Amino acid sequence: MIPVAIVGAAGYAGIELTRLLLGHPSFKPVCVTSAADAGKRVNELYPGLSGTNLVFEAPDAAAIAGRAQVAFLAVPHTAAIAMTPVLLDAGVTVVDCSADFRLRDPDVYAAWYGVEHGARDLLGEAVYGLPELWRAALPGARLVACPGCYPTATLLASAPAVRAGVVTSGRVIADAISGVSGAGRGATATTHFVSVAESVAAYKVGAHRHTPEIAQGLADLGLRNPAVVFTPHLAPLSRGLLSTVYLEVSPGLSVDDAYALYRDAYADEAFVTVCEPGMQPATGHVRGSNRAHVGVVLDTASRTLIATCAIDNLVKGAAGQAVQCANIALGLPEAAGLAAPAPIV
């Protein structure tokens, strides 16, 4: 068994990582950390994990490096910057679920996150961990930067059309809806039950930090000069994310052509399902799983391809994708620990 650490394990993404890794055939969690909950048993804070005896520890990069071969970082931005060099120097593979190594341009990072990047020398080494689109870069990777949940769904919805060269404008509009767990474990005035129940609201309009990450991904897919208009919405769901992307396409593209592009692009992907014509993805269909469901419709009158992708923001949007990337990086079966079907209800 490969010993692993989960840093920031008390948060929603971190505890989802813990849940998945406890059932993994090749990984064994030996260390789970939480600065706020050090000393507490995992099953005390999360009784659903009653079968484990793990205890939260204070995060210490040197101590983690002495015990784990792989470290999953589920921490706020800047925290991964501080820990990653120590872990890498000790030979630990780092799978980072934070935003710290997703953006290759440190000036873009500084502009959107409000701090200078403290590990610029590692940005060129970090592999962007969206396997369905950039799998070839993952085997043997020392540092994996897992995508954000919104970019994951938005890029999966966009990729087949962009790569096929049928998108005729760099202007890409994405409207996305996420469950409240995407905001993290700490309650705020805008995320507690009374504020969220029976209500849907847009937030961080024109200013969400995933915007440059989406633009970077679209450029990597081959879209020239992407101009992204991204609007996230908060919905009264505990988990789940739906991104709807609007792409201007060539006038000669037919409805059948559009569907065939997506069907063929994802035909061999274990975790992506392209919905049959006339069907659309729903967050309930992927809840609790590492799956992504993609639907595609062509509005011929406006020459707009409307592609929609549903994922679980905590699994394919965070913890599950991290495990998927780690599997590939270490030469394990890609679906190891992730193959269970989604719950029906």
- Say how far apart CA 127 and CA 105 lie, in whole Å: 14
Instruction: Provide the pLDDT for residue 157.
Output: 98
Weakly modelled stretches of the chain, pLDDT under 50: none
Instruction: Encode 117-179 in three state secondary structure.
Output: CCCHHHCCCCEECCHHHHHHHCCCCCEEECCCHHHHHHHHHHHHHHHHCCECCCEEEEEEEEC
Q: Does residue 140 sit in the same domain as residue 208?
A: no
Instruction: Provide the pLDDT for residue 296.
Output: 98
User: Which of the residues 31, 149, 275, 325 is marked catalytic?
Assistant: 149
Q: Does residue 284 sit in the same domain as residue 194?
A: yes
Q: Does residue 165 sit in the same domain as residue 309?
A: yes
Instruction: Provide the pLDDT for residue 182.
Output: 84
Active site residue 149: yes
- Say how far apart CA 259 and CA 264 lie, in whole Å: 9
Domain for residue 102, yes or no? yes
DSSP run (H or E) holding 18: helix 12-22
Instruction: Provide the pLDDT for residue 266.
Output: 98
Q: How does pLDDT run across 288-316, given as a tens digit for each residue?
A: 999 999 999 999 999 999 999 999 999 99
Instruction: Provide the pLDDT for residue 215.
Output: 98
Domain for residue 287, yes or no? yes
Q: Does residue 186 sit in the same domain as residue 281?
A: yes
Mean model confidence pLDDT for the chain: 95
Domain for residue 211, yes or no? yes
Instruction: Give the domain range for residue 173.
Output: 150-313
Domain for residue 90, yes or no? yes
Q: How does pLDDT run across 149-183, given as a tens digit for each residue?
A: 999 999 999 999 999 999 999 999 999 999 998 88
